[in-house]
Structure 1
Amino acid sequence: MPQPTTDTPSGRRLRLLAAAAVLAAAAALTLGLVVAPPDAVQGQPQRLMYVHVPAAWTAFASFTVVLVASVAYLLRRRPVWDAAAQAAAELGTGMTALAIALGSIWGRSVWGVWWAWDARLVTTAVLLLIYLGYLGVRGLSDDPDTNARRAAVIGIAGFVQVPIVHFSVLWWRTLHQEPTILAPDTSPPIDGRMAAALGAGFLAFTLAGAWFFLHRLAQLRIARVEPAAPVPVGPIVVERSES
């Protein structure tokens, strides 16, 4: 895979973004592991929230980018929109898998099981399968435009699952707690130190996700414009026939 150069203004901005993400991650770790108190009910396992929730947020934001870029590609057929959708889908799929893994560890500590047929868990697993399928259809055809159009349709239709995941804890009876931040009603605020740790986690994941997206987008754009390397051939030998 071709790599974007770092000796350009965009490359320098990526380095600054990466540095900011590292600093935010360090702050989030300090706040989450040292400053914030353990939960009164769940104890130490609750600290997984400072990674689990930002990972889910990053996934939702990524799939929103997939939606917008997919619509733009179908309307304008510009490869940059398809590249943006693919980069965002890769990020969102990875973050969804991370959220499921962390949720499983958290659930094992609190519920006593690694997995439950819970509305939030099942809808999130379906979300992961949708975007794995999105990435999978990109290799079904030799025609890049055909793959891009198929992926765009899935990227648009699949976004319906995002609000289903978010509101699943409100629409169905579930073991999962209700939304901590984007709750539709006015719920009691969490401890200020916990809120600070969670906010730092959001910032760290947002910056890291933005870095990955921009870096991957640059890779995909280079791959779409660079011609394939010529296949080396040996010297051509012409034999002269004797008359």
Structure 2
Amino acid sequence: MNPFSIIWKFLDRTYHRLASPREFYGIAQYMTPIFGLLSLALILSGAYLGLFKAPADYQQGDSFRIIYVHVPAAWLSLMVYTIMAVAAAIGMVWRMKMAFVVAICSAPLGAVFTALALITGSIWGKPIWGTWWTWDARLTSELILLFLYFGVMATYHAFEERKTAEKAMAMLSIVGIVIVPIIHYSVEWWSSLHQGATVFAEGGPRMPSDMLTPLLLMIAGFMFFYGYALFLSAQNMVLNNERKSRWVRDLIQNTGDSQ
């Protein structure tokens, strides 16, 4: 058999499984503890290496260590919005129920990562810039991103009819994706106090390996934590959306019988 046809059949089967609320719920139940354990292991490892093993920065001293929370949070704030916008577009085009669930459940998680990035950035900026806040291009655009997350959540909850709420939320998510490249390139397009790319810089990372390794571990840990929290939130939303379905009633009954 043609290997391309094998891959296509696998992707098609996976797509249809993820598109089904019942199948997604089963997959999420299996993957949630895995993502949770991986997240915990990576974050603990990264935090230990970053706080206790990495050397102090020659200019910023130990204050640079907040990078191990700030950078992963900032990275996730952009990644989550991108996932949310792509899921919203898939939901709009193919009317996939689970795409809307992923988009809606991603919004509050992205808002938390964005708020954490702004808070840790302010804490880091105080000793370096001498102020808690400045209307720098990167900071200002990241603040706009936080408002976009709030807007997506408010838009969804502003409508009683679920399909209308999903469409309105999806449209705002898709339109707002323009903020992601603006944030990413803000330090290049405008005069900025914020430092440029360090990890994904042109020519390779600009950090020694004993500083870079814990940072990469923390980024990976934050990514798995997002997956863990997304699966938990999506399971709850699926059960609520599909509460009238036969499989949900059977699941509730079986859970009650087992207790």
Shorter-chain TM-score bucket reads: 0.7 to 0.9
Read off the aligned partner of 1:174 and give its amino acid letter: S
The structure with the larger Rg is: 1
Matched, 1:135 2:124: no
Matched, 1:192 2:209: yes
Q: Counterparts of 2:96 and 2:161 in 1: how far apart (Å)?
A: 15
Q: Counterparts of 2:237 and 2:197 in 1: how far apart (Å)?
A: 35
Read off the aligned partner of 2:67 and give its amino acid letter: M
* Alignment CA distance shift 1:187-1:199 (3 Å): closer
C-alpha offsets along residues 218-243 of structure 1, whole Å, 9 cap, x if unaligned?
1111111114xxxxxxxxxxxxxxxx
Matched, 1:213 2:230: yes
Of 18, 27, 31, which residue of structure 1 is paired with 2:36?
A: 18
Percent identity, aligned pairs only, is 32
Q: Counterparts of 2:28 and 2:171 in 1: how far apart (Å)?
A: 31
* Alignment CA distance shift 1:70-1:164 (3 Å): same
Deviation, 1:12, is 4.1
Read off the aligned partner of 1:216 and give its amino acid letter: S
Say if 2:199 and 2:212, in contact at 8 Å, map to a contact too. no
Under a length normalisation based on structure 2, what TM-score does the superposition of the two structures give?
0.81
Deviation, 1:88, is 1.6
Give the number of the structure whose residues are more often helix, by fraction. 2
Deviation, 1:19, is 1.4
Q: Counterparts of 1:21 and 1:188 in 2: how far apart (Å)?
A: 23
Q: Counterparts of 2:198 and 2:150 in 1: how far apart (Å)?
A: 27
Read off the aligned partner of 2:68 and give its amino acid letter: Y
Read off the aligned partner of 1:207 and give its amino acid letter: F
Read off the aligned partner of 1:149 and give its amino acid letter: K
C-alpha offsets along residues 152-171 of structure 1, whole Å, 9 cap, x if unaligned?
01110111101101110111
Q: Who is 2:220 aligned against?
A: 203
Say if 1:131 and 1:158, in contact at 8 Å, map to a contact too. no
Q: Who is 1:56 aligned against?
A: 74
Return structure 1 stretches of 4+ with deviation > 4 angstroms. none
Q: Counterparts of 1:159 and 1:24 in 2: how far apart (Å)?
A: 29
Deviation, 1:11, is 2.6
Q: Counterparts of 1:9 and 1:144 in 2: how far apart (Å)?
A: 24
Counterparts of 1:1-243 in structure 2, within 5 Å, are 10-183=28-201, 185-186=202-203, 189-227=206-244
C-alpha offsets along residues 196-239 of structure 1, whole Å, 9 cap, x if unaligned?
11111111111111101111111111111114xxxxxxxxxxxx
| DSSP-derived class of the 2:178 partner | helix
Which ranges in structure 1 are unaligned for 5 or more consecutive residues? Answer: 1-7, 228-243
| DSSP-derived class of the 2:206 partner | coil
Deviation, 1:191, is 1.1
Read off the aligned partner of 2:163 and give its amino acid letter: D
* Alignment CA distance shift 1:9-1:128 (3 Å): closer
Aligned length: 221
Deviation, 1:188, is 6.2
Under a length normalisation based on structure 1, what TM-score does the superposition of the two structures give?
0.86
Say if 1:67 and 1:85, in contact at 8 Å, map to a contact too. yes
What is the root-mean-square deviation of aligned Cα atoms in Å? 1.8
Read off the aligned partner of 1:140 and give its amino acid letter: A
Q: Who is 1:235 aligned against?
A: none
Q: Who is 1:231 aligned against?
A: none
